Each structure stands twice: as structure tokens, then as C-alpha cells.
Structure 1
Amino acid sequence: MYIKKILLFISITGLVILSIFSYFVYVTMFVSNTNFNNEIAYVYVYTDQTFEELKQDLYPVLKNVNSFERLANRKGYDKALKSGKFAIKKGMNNNQIINTLRSSKLTVDVIFNNIDNEYELAGKISKQIEADSLSLLNSFKDLDFFKSKGFNKYNYLSIFLPNSYNFYWDTDANSFRSRMLKEYNLFWNDSRMGKLKQIGLNQSQVMILASIVTQESKMKSELRTIAGVYMNRLNNNWLLQADPTVKYAAYQLPEYENEIIRRILYKHLKIDSKFNTYKYKGLPPGLISVPNISSIDAVLNFEKHKYFYFSADPNNIGYHNFSRTLYEHNNNAKKFHKYLDSKGIKK
């Protein structure tokens, strides 16, 4: 009788312990552990991040980080973190959260445009992927890499075509650069390559001219016309006389480093630089900005006309007046200069 009581006690105790253990397992694995009101919370796991660091990031997201840690230890996740961006859905339990962090890495849309130089590019990209601006800048300045791909210090930014791209958030600097080179090569398809022969320019020359067109106007309806003006000048061995190249040349000099040039003056036209197309014939030696795709296609499909000049239209800001003769152009330019004077824009 005594032995039966002992066995019964042991059985009951075992069931209680098993129940408690089962309860903790259930709570640890299957009870909702999210602590946010939105439908989704995004978690970013950095490359080489430790589990302890990840735990700190999860405190605002989870109700009970300790229960998450227990299951992470049991499943070995704490020693095998996967970097990336992840979406934790409201109501998820620890098991679902860990499975998500293991295998459901998200992509992000990387968008950039209106880029003048590698510093601006690195700054914009670093806000959208894990790679920081310094690592991106170092990658962009690796001229040995670009030379091995047929580029030089004047045109290597050509590969960074402004657009929207899909990347994993934890993309590093060199992987970003390699992807951009791949996109650049895909951009130059058979159709575009065929147009190079038709217009008599190579890829580098098209990109340089497109960088000028990009700086001349934001109005897509004008781009082909502007490209046509410059093609007329090139084909007739005229100076391009492109104001954006003068501004670019000025910004390479220390005295203009912190100055915003809103008006091209005669002193700017005298700057002795190969980028100054008022002094040197032909295209400048390299890009003056990162050309957008619309401008590249505008050069490849430039409008055939007899215009050799254009000037900003004071009555339709953002647009230009085009002219065939210097006399017409001077009249248009006077109107715009008068407009600048009326706005107090002297430099």
C-alpha cells in the first residue's frame, strides 16, 4: 500500500512537471510574442552582428526577449544569424519569428537620380542598403577595377545608371558596384549599340554628351532637341559652348568650392580647363554628372533640325528657346539676362 502511494505521488509529480514543461514549451514556441501595433515590424540584422546585439534591437519588437532567446538557443539560431532585412508580422510566435529571420530575407528598392559625383552617390546609396558611405566611396574610387572593365577616371561613373533597382538590404559595396556594371552592360543592348554607328559616337562619347544634356534641362520633351543642337555643333566642328561644362570646370577650382553658381559670367568662360567647352572644341574628357537614361536615349535618338543655339525661356521657366542664328540667339539671351537681373541674380 505504501509503495502504491509512492508510485502515485511520483506519477502525479511527473505529470505536474511534464505539464509545467509543456506549458513553457508551448509559451516559448507557440504563443504570440510581438509587441507592436502595426501589421509588420521590420528587423535589420547586420553582417557580423552578434546575437547579444540583435537582442537589444528586438526589445521594442518582442514582448518577451528571454523566451525568444531560449528557443533561439535550442534551435541554434543564436550561433547562425543571417544578415538582411526581415518582416515580422503582428501576432507571430517565437518559432515563426526565428524561421522568418532564418529564411525570409527581403529585398529593398534602391533608387537614385540627380547625381553629380561619387560623393553624392555614396551618400544616397548608403541610406538604402547596409554598406556605409565610406565603403561605397572606396569601391567607387577603385580605378584599377574600372580600368580592367574599360573605363577611366573621367567616365567610370557611367556604370551607375539612375533608376530603381531591387537589392538585398545587406548588399556590400563591391557587390553593389558589380551589379551596377551588370545593369550597364544590359542597358547597352543590340538596339542601342546599333544606334552608336548611326550617330557616329562611341559609348563613352554618348555618356559624356548625355551628362551635359542631363544638366541642361529637366524637361523630357526638350532633351532630344538639345541633343540635336550639340550634335549639329559637333558635326560642324563648332565649340559646344555648353554652360554646364563651364560650371563643372569652375567647381574643380578651390575658389569656387563653396560657391553656388547661378549665372555664368565672362570670368567663368575664361577658365582654362579641358572641360570648358567655350575654350576647347569637341566633347569634354569625361562626365560632368551621372547622366540619366532619358538623356542617354535622347542623344542616341537626337532630333534632326537646324538649331545651333538655345537659351532659357524667361516666360516658361524650365524650358528653352531654340534658334538657328546667332542674331536670334542673342535676342533670346538678352531676354533671359534681363529676367535674371530682375530677380537679383548676379552670379
Structure 2
Amino acid sequence: MSKRGFLTGGLLVLALGLGLAWLAWDRWMDGTWTNENVTVELWPGDNAVQHMARLEAQLPPAGKRVLDHVEMRSWEGRLKAGRYRFPAGESVKNSATRLVTGNREAVKVVIRAGRDVGPVAGTATRRIHADSTEVAHMLAQDSMMWRVLPNTYEMWWETNAQALGERLLLEHARWWNEDRVAAARAQGLSPKEATVLASVVQAETAVISEAPAVAALYLNRLNKGMALQADPTLIFALGDPSIRRVLDVHKEVDSPYNTYQHRGLPPGPIRYVDPRYLQSVLHPAEHAYLYMCAKPGGDGTHDFARNYREHLRNARAYQSWLNKQRIYR
């Protein structure tokens, strides 16, 4: 055999060997690598080296095949932050592709209604990467608090505090459509004012079926130029949610949230408002009540009155019940 023929033959054998090796590798990468679901989290802000290190720490031993595929393709720099779920039986190739295309898992983020920002922020960050302290600071801002609509939202795991705030503002704008803005205007309120009043209504009654009646009572008082005289605003001003019996001394607190001393609505909401209570303000009951007092028995409902004489009778009955329960503050 000539030297040229020998060289040609050698090249053909080499090409065949490389081809077979590639086919074997490709088939190996097409194979499955796990018999159970696997979840990993790649942190936002990490570089390629850190992403690879997190993958190595979170993947089971068989997951090394996924890392090998990423390295073989030189995809390290294309890895995207997020929470990834690899289903049982997925191929090595598809798992690696999932990591660089951002085919990640969304999570359910619960924004709860409540009085205190801490629990609201803590619940909101339970399933996302955002820092709860940063979220609490963001949610506590006056310009933000009235715009928070408690609900369950689908978000990416890597969502940070800023992205969470932007999403909540977007949901607020969507919720306040033309019909709801018009409904608020029909009650003489702006969206913010409706939210502030709804926060007082929710703090006043935990019985959602009673909320439209409570909302109507406060609207009646506002329309007549009367002070709201809402006990929950005093408790908010005093910063003492343990108060169960509002006394005359409490009504002397110097605060714009003291609706016994200041007419009109307080300057901001006193809690993060369940949207159902917002609806009760937009669509209140129709009645002429101006006064209410908690009913004896402690079931959270109220007795309503059209005049002060009726109200005093209801108030005495409730105060008598409190005394029997030995509730003095």
C-alpha cells in the first residue's frame, strides 16, 4: 500500500472512530439520569462558576452527566437563575437545555391580608428568593401600603424585593379598572380613600357578610360630616393591638389616626386589606344607620342604630357583657 493510501485509510478510520464516539456520547446524553423528580435552585447574581458549584452541590451523583453536558457545550455562561424541576426520566440533554433556556418553575406567592407588615412580608417571601427585611421595608412605605392587594400570585422563584413591588403595583393597576374607579367615585371616594375606608371596615368586623353594612354606616357618617369615631383607628394610633375595650383615655391620643378628634378618613390604611372588604366599600348596603356597637357574646357582629339613644342602649348592653367577662381594657 502506498504511503498516500495508508494515510487516507488512517484518516477514514479516525473519522469513523470519532463518529462512533460522538454517536455513543450523543446516545449517552439522550439517556435518562434520574428515576425521581429533582429540584435545584440557581441564585440570581451568581456567576457561571457559582452556578456550576450550586448545581454540583444540589444534584444527586447521577447529575454529573448533566454538568458534563453543560461543560461539553461550553454552556456555563448561559446558565440562568431560577428554580428548576427535573422530572423523573428526563434525558441529560433536555435537563441541560432546560438550565440554559430558563425553562424554570413558577411558584405560588401568597400576599396575605393583615395588620402587621412583618407577617405579610414573611409569608410573601416564603417561596421566593427576595429578602423578607427588604420586602417589609418596601411594603411599609405609605405610597405602597394602600396599593397592596392580598391574593395568591404566580411568580418566578428568583423574584427579588424590587420585582415583587413592581408586580404588586401592576396587579393594583389591573384591579382598579374603570368600573371599580367609577364605583368608588359614586361613593365620593378615590381608590386610595376607598382602600383606607376598607381597612377600617375590615379592622371593625371579621364577619365578611357584615362588611357592606359597616361600610355603609361609615359612608353615612362621612356624608353627614360626622367623625368616624372608629375604635380600630385608635388602637392603630396607640400601637397596642391587645386593647379589647376602648376607654375615654384612649380617645385623647394625639394622632391623625384618631378619628374621634379628626373628621374624615385617616391619612392611610391601618392594615393590608382583603379585596372583599374593598368590594364592600364599592358596593355598600343601603341603610340609615349612624352608630354601631359590638354585640354581647363576642361573635364579632354588631348592633346598629339610627340615633344616639338607641346606640347608648346597645353600648350599655355590651359594656355589661364585658364586665361579666372581666374584660377591662
Mark yes or no: TM-score above 0.5: yes
1:108 Cα deviation from its structure 2 partner: 1.9
Alpha-carbon distance between aligned partners in 1 of 2:230 and 2:172, rounded to the nearest angstrom: 26
Q: Structure 1 residue 198 and structure 2 residue 163: aligned?
A: no
Distance 1:41 1:216, change over 3 A: farther
Quote the residue 2:105 is aligned against: 106
Quote the residue 1:146 is aligned against: none
Identity of aligned residues (%): 28
Alpha-carbon distance between aligned partners in 1 of 2:41 and 2:308, rounded to the nearest angstrom: 59
Pairing partner for 1:309 from 274, 291, 308: 291
Alpha-carbon distance between aligned partners in 2 of 1:268 and 1:319, rounded to the nearest angstrom: 22
Quote the residue 1:45 is aligned against: 42
Quote the residue 1:7 is aligned against: none
Quote the residue 1:163 is aligned against: 151
Q: Structure 1 residue 30 and structure 2 residue 30: aligned?
A: yes
Q: C-alpha deviations, 1:244-300, integer Å up to 9, x for none?
A: 10010001xxxx5xx732332332222111101122221111111122211112112
AA aligned to 2:38 is A
Alpha-carbon distance between aligned partners in 2 of 1:159 and 1:326, rounded to the nearest angstrom: 36
Distance 1:134 1:35, change over 3 A: farther
Quote the residue 1:149 is aligned against: none
Alpha-carbon distance between aligned partners in 1 of 2:151 and 2:114, rounded to the nearest angstrom: 11
Q: C-alpha deviations, 1:158-184, integer Å up to 9, x for none?
A: 111111222222222222212222221
**Further displaced range: 105-114 or 230-239:** 105-114
1:15 Cα deviation from its structure 2 partner: 8.6
Quote the residue 1:243 is aligned against: 231
Pairing partner for 2:80 from 72, 82, 85: 82
Quote the residue 1:324 is aligned against: 306
Alpha-carbon distance between aligned partners in 1 of 2:324 and 2:99, rounded to the nearest angstrom: 60
AA aligned to 1:32 is T
**Further displaced range: 185-194 or 117-126:** 117-126
Contact 1:35 1:63 in 2 (8 A): no
Alpha-carbon distance between aligned partners in 2 of 1:307 and 1:248, rounded to the nearest angstrom: 24
Contact 2:42 2:51 in 1 (8 A): no
Distance 1:55 1:197, change over 3 A: closer
1:21 Cα deviation from its structure 2 partner: 7.3
AA aligned to 2:108 is D
Structure 2 unaligned spans of 5+: 2-11
Distance 1:270 1:96, change over 3 A: same
RMSD after superposition: 3.1
Quote the residue 2:317 is aligned against: 335
1:240 Cα deviation from its structure 2 partner: 0.8
Q: Structure 1 residue 132 and structure 2 residue 131: aligned?
A: yes
Alpha-carbon distance between aligned partners in 1 of 2:150 and 2:253, rounded to the nearest angstrom: 30
